[in-house]
Chains A and B, each alone.
Chain A
Amino acid sequence: MTVAAERPFTDSQEFVLEVDSVATRFGTAVIHDGVSFNVARGDVVALIGGSGSGKSVLLKEIIGLLQPSAGSIRLLGMDVWRGSLDEINALRRRFGMLFQDGALFSSLTVAENVAVPFREHTDLPVELILPLVGFKLSLVGLSPDVGGKMPAELSGGMRKRVALARALALEPEILFLDEPTSGLDPISARAFDQLVRVLSEGLGLTVFIVTHDLDTLLSIIDRVIVLADGKVIANDTVNKVMKLDNPWIRDYFQTRALAARKEGSDGT
């Protein structure tokens, strides 16, 4: 798959996410040492880096679960770590988060899981909530009769889709995804990628994906941010980043070429 063509509505340079000189220290260990980048509305952005480079920690800081030691993070125009609890909770209704294994509530059915944001944050009557839940499940490619199942009865791919439906319940402006394709077979992984892309284009969503998956990068991502040694070492379109002269980046994008070369020498 080729890299996605220029997006139709990233003409405005409104930044929905501004990370400015974020530093994170746990005791003497320095995880981030001045991380800065911006994400424009409508972009589909990926954050990559080696294992242990602090990607998941950064994601937690952006969504307000872990406080950075220094620096600021502005999400949808609001400083995440300087607002009151009410302001932060109001902000949380404007973005959706997909955790790595879905993080569905294990004692609720699928439909009840997706209905949680509606029940907790809106006054909608039940007659409106159930059809909406069915629609959200359908939006992520699941049949609405999955609604009566418990999360433990679902496969990993289905769990992630349900979690995506829940993340999209309140019509968020940004969607955060933490390694969405990990543990999925290649077909499901590509299908999930396409789903994210279709939803992003159809709904005008900004998408921020923390990922290891090279195929995701090469198929649906507009810009990629590379985190290494506690700093951002690249922040550009995938094509441009692939050509950078950095050993880690070269190795990362070479893995595909290595596999292809090995196959070629075995096959012929």
Chain B
Amino acid sequence: MNTTPKWIEPDTDEGANVLRLTGVWRLSNLAAISGALQSVAPGGENPYVLDGSGLQELDTAAGFILCRRLAPPGGGNLELTLRGFDPRHERLLALVRDRMDCPAAVSKPVHGGVLHRIGTATVALWKMLQSHVGFVGTVALELLTLMRRPRLFRFKETMAQFETICLDAIPIAGLVTFLIGVVIAYLLGIQALQYGANVFVVDGVGLAMCRELSPLLVAVVVAGRSGAAFTAQIGTMKVQQEIDAISTLGLSPVQVLVIPRLVAIIIALPLLVFVGYIAGILGGMLICAVQLDITPLTFLDRMHSVLPTSAPVVGLVKAPVFAAFIAIIACRMGMLVARDARSVGLNTTSTVVQSIVWVILLDAVFAIIFQHLDI
């Protein structure tokens, strides 16, 4: 038959209110059933008799909304007489009635108003900054301990980290700086061509790459690669209680996890910055040869005579400072990871963002310092 089922039909039978249930009372038909139930008044003084002889199927979801609809409003026991029900369905309804006294589930955690959230966020930020400073202090103390007892140094772990941070990053750092060298040379070249001052592009490329572009870009690449990796590794270890295990075995998590990474990245970043110099200068050399009629030999000759020693040295001085900040931020955020997967993701993102911001901030500070020192 193609008629839509009536689901529930009221009837009277010897003075009692009978509700005849028909059809397939399942979750898939719940919307229709709920609609049909709207026409049924909740029970009260005259308890209902439910007739289930026409009921093909019944599941808990449908049983629940039936009982909920029939229950007297404002609490009170649901009085029902069942007749003609399959024993399975009777059992199911009994279970539903037993467990159904429940308000609707609370879904969202309660959020405060805007002002409340600003206040909470500010206090949280302040507390976080305090604990960051505490962490830096802990690392400094552990470094001092290391200097007094050099045997504590974990050479193999540091070398393993070094391989991941430095060797595996050479291709990408080289590529990025090469391309930036190309771009810088191209932009300078356009300007220089107008004044016939092609050859000064060489000076520009050398100075820009060494003093600013290579340290900055390589630091950003390393922050994204290794900073994120530190946070994710240490964060996952935190979730799996490995950090607790390290402490319980009488070892310092800072010595075991943080110091190898810190030392490795402080050695690695200057080396990568140097690779950046070479790649960047090669990029500039390519553009000069192609666009500005400066042969590679001329380029190198000019670079040799014009590039001040201070330029690459400045870059190599900045690099360890950037590296230290990246490592400390990354390890700190890793240690702060809470118990779930979402927290690992949030902290990894935060590491990369914080690292990049700090690197740029430090770069500005260095610029001012060097300017005052006339370097």
Contacts and interface: CB of A to CB of B under 8 A. Distances in A.
Contact of B342 (A107, A122, A123): A107
A145 B342 CA distance: 23
Given A135-B99, A138-B101, A148 B110 contact: yes
A144 B105 contact: yes
B42 to A, nearest CB: 15
B290 interface: no
B372 to A, nearest CB: 49
Contacts of B104: 130-131, 133-134, 144
A150 B109 CA distance: 9
A158 interface: no
Most buried by A among B68, B104, B338: B104
Interface in A189-231: 198-199, 201-204
A195 B107 CA distance: 24
B85 interface: no
B31 A124 contact: yes
A111 interface: yes
A132 B103 CA distance: 10
Contacts, number: 110
Interface string A139-178: 1000111011111100000000000000010110000000
B109 A132 contact: no
A31 to B, nearest CB: 26
Contacts of A203: 59-60, 92, 95
B99 A138 contact: yes
A101 B99 CA distance: 25
A144 B101 CA distance: 10
Given A139-B60, A148-B110, A171 B99 contact: no
Contacts of B92: 202-204
Q: How large is the interface on B (under 10, 10 to 19, 20 to 34, 35 or more residues)?
A: 35 or more
Contact of B95 (A128, A132, A198): A198
Interface string B82-107: 00000110011011100111111111
B347 to A, nearest CB: 14
12 contacts: A109-B108, A114-B105, A124-B30, A131-B104, A133-B107, A135-B60, A139-B95, A148-B106, A148-B109, A150-B340, A171-B61, A201-B91
A115 B60 CA distance: 15
Contact of A128 (B31, B60, B91, B103): B31
A6 to B, nearest CB: 15
A137 interface: yes
B26 interface: yes
Interface in B311-352: 338-342
A152 B109 CA distance: 14
B341 A106 contact: yes
A157 B34 CA distance: 33
Interface of A: 8-9, 106-107, 109-112, 114-115, 122-125, 128, 130-135, 137-139, 143-145, 147-152, 168, 170-171, 198-199, 201-204
Contact of A202 (B34, B95, B105, B341): B95
A128 B107 contact: no
B32 to A, nearest CB: 11
Interface in B213-258: none
B94 A202 contact: yes
Given A144-B105, A203-B60, A170 B27 contact: yes
Contacts of A150: 109, 340
A144 B340 contact: no
A197 B65 CA distance: 24
Given A128-B65, A204-B92, A147 B27 contact: no
